[in-house]
Structure 1
């Protein structure tokens, strides 16, 4: 009698189950340990570099601005280090004469502004009371809303925040005055050499693509930064000149504020015109000079000079971002780094776009060595 073969056992033995349990436990423990270590390392890295982000960023901006001047002086067969020191000396000399010429005027304007600030605040409260009365007469639903009190509360919170941040800001400015020129010096002297060393680490089959990508990104970012700085300077000068034709005070301060805030796309110009319009409304009333100031801010500076002349020539051909992406970059940058993030959000988005487009163009134009063609395969 032939016995049928024994069927293989289904399921796992106790030893196999125990082994799988031990392996899974070890894998989970190892993963948790790696995650905890990585989180600790990232936290330590962020703590160690928290005060270096702004100096490095400003140093990179200064490097893009000063590199053409250094390269121009270097053509005279002068060592690059000597050229950098020459540029630093010229900048220090220019700042010295500018400070001696502007200091008395700025001190007088700041003193007058401190004296007039209570008057501006009281007139603003009066305007808010009138606006609240008109709104409550038309919309009874907001009868119990205290608009002047809410505005006063926001102003007090803003001033308190300024007072709290003033010592920290002074410390940061001192740090920037030391680290900014130091980092800029090394970026100007060794920046190209350092980037060539990093690109040299790229595998040979991707070397040309990495080199072209670095070249296009650095060139377009240099044009973008120089264009934005020049745009802000021109807008500030236009606003200062336009306000100087009226009886409004503090035209240089208002022009400087309008130029700086113009660095933030879309939102910055609106913020930059608010102080000038409020001061004109308080000091000049709703007369012809007030409407001229509105024309200077809105029509002359933003529509004609900025949108029709500066942006098409200096900015559009470099960034060329859709307005939706610009708004998203501003919002995300503001969430991460505040006002500074709103300013650098657009350049970072431009870098990402350039990297994607250049990589796509390279892959379409050239065949990467990693892609093996059918006709290149050896025949049997």
Structure 2
């Protein structure tokens, strides 16, 4: 069947219009995404910290609410107790932590220079056995990364007071409203759903809320335990900055797969520079790998606290971490997994309701069944 010239022209115009429309939609979506990213950059961290605090404080608020206090009074009482504990802990710890942080900033160039030297030695050994990797230039790349890290630490330290002040103002305010009006916001959002999808929206809100609360509490508890165990294990050696290294290991442990590896690099580097590869170095390595990660995290904490919550394939976890890191850096890597888990819940629930409550074909055509 041959096409006439008019039909060919029509097909050409349709294809051209389709391609142009697709490019316009892609450009508009990219622009909108960029604007949303710029608009939410300064507000994402306070909102996420407030949500984390709301999930952590919710059980205490409910416990006080069962007594003679109403919801608002319970929130104020829990907030007051939390503020008092934070103030006492900060007043006790701040002199030691500030002195330790100042000493670490002084020693950081020496540790970075020694790390580059070790990379150079490793590259020489590697070239002896694998000559084809001679163009990697590990010392050069390590030097660039070290200089970038050092400059980032110095630049962020100068502006940290302003950011900390804004967080101290916004986080308690957002946390209060999340605790007081969170259920109202959820009920209002569910009520906007059409009657046909009301039950599905209600179930989705419950499942997502439960998933987030369990995930946040489990991950925070996991990070705290790992940080305490690593810091306690390092304190048996002569390594410097054991509390800071334990805190760093706990915070980086929030990022699945990549976090534990990043968390033990500073401790191993400091141990190599200050202690050498003696018995204490191997104890530090065992603390990070065997005690902190393999035994405690993989065999105890993750099966008990995390595995039944996220239930994601490792491939999807890695994809979520990479995409979250592209959007919001380290913060995005942390929240990528729960966001992916929520998307999975939504897809599963929609599929379940479509199968369970699908109407007969006759009913969809406007005829009564039977």
Q: TM-score, with normalisation over the residues of structure 1?
A: 0.82
- Residues 144-159 of structure 1: matches in 2 within 5 Å? 147-159=138-150
More helix by share: 2
Which of residues 230, 233, 238 is equivalent to 1:242? Answer: 233
**Structure 2 segments unaligned to the other structure (5+ residues):** 1-5, 7-13
Which of residues 274, 278, 283 is equivalent to 1:292? Answer: 283
* Structure 2: distance between partners of 1:282 and 1:115: 15
The aligned counterpart of 1:310 is: 301
For the pair 1:121 / 2:112, whether they are aligned, the reply is yes
For the pair 1:210 / 2:201, whether they are aligned, the reply is yes
Structure 1 stretch displaced more, 148-157 or 195-204: 148-157
- Residues 11-50 of structure 1: matches in 2 within 5 Å? 47-50=38-41
Q: Is the 8 Å Cα contact of residues 205 and 370 (structure 1) preserved in structure 2?
A: no
* Structure 2: distance between partners of 1:153 and 1:205: 58
| Distance of aligned partners of 1:247 and 1:74 in 2 relative to their CA distance in 1, 3 Å threshold | same
For residues 113-142 of structure 1, give each alpha carbon's deviation from its aligned partner in whole angstroms, at most 9, with x where no partner exists.
234334423433442343343334445556
Q: Is the 8 Å Cα contact of residues 227 and 248 (structure 2) preserved in structure 1?
A: yes
* Structure 2: distance between partners of 1:144 and 1:357: 48
- Residues 330-341 of structure 1: matches in 2 within 5 Å? 330-341=321-332
For residues 259-300 of structure 1, give each alpha carbon's deviation from its aligned partner in whole angstroms, at most 9, with x where no partner exists.
000000000000000111111112221111111111110111
* Structure 2: distance between partners of 1:138 and 1:42: 48
Q: Is the 8 Å Cα contact of residues 235 and 259 (structure 1) preserved in structure 2?
A: yes
For the pair 1:183 / 2:181, whether they are aligned, the reply is no
**Structure 1 segments unaligned to the other structure (5+ residues):** 1-11, 13-23
The aligned counterpart of 1:320 is: 311
Q: TM-score, with normalisation over the residues of structure 2?
A: 0.85
Q: Computing the radius of gyration over CA atoms, which structure comes out larger, 1 or 2? A: 1
Deviation at 1:47, TM superposition (A): 4.8
The aligned counterpart of 1:355 is: 346
| Distance of aligned partners of 1:300 and 1:47 in 2 relative to their CA distance in 1, 3 Å threshold | closer
Q: Is the 8 Å Cα contact of residues 205 and 369 (structure 1) preserved in structure 2?
A: no
Structure 1 stretch displaced more, 41-50 or 198-207: 41-50
For residues 291-336 of structure 1, give each alpha carbon's deviation from its aligned partner in whole angstroms, at most 9, with x where no partner exists.
1111110111111111111111110101010001101111111111
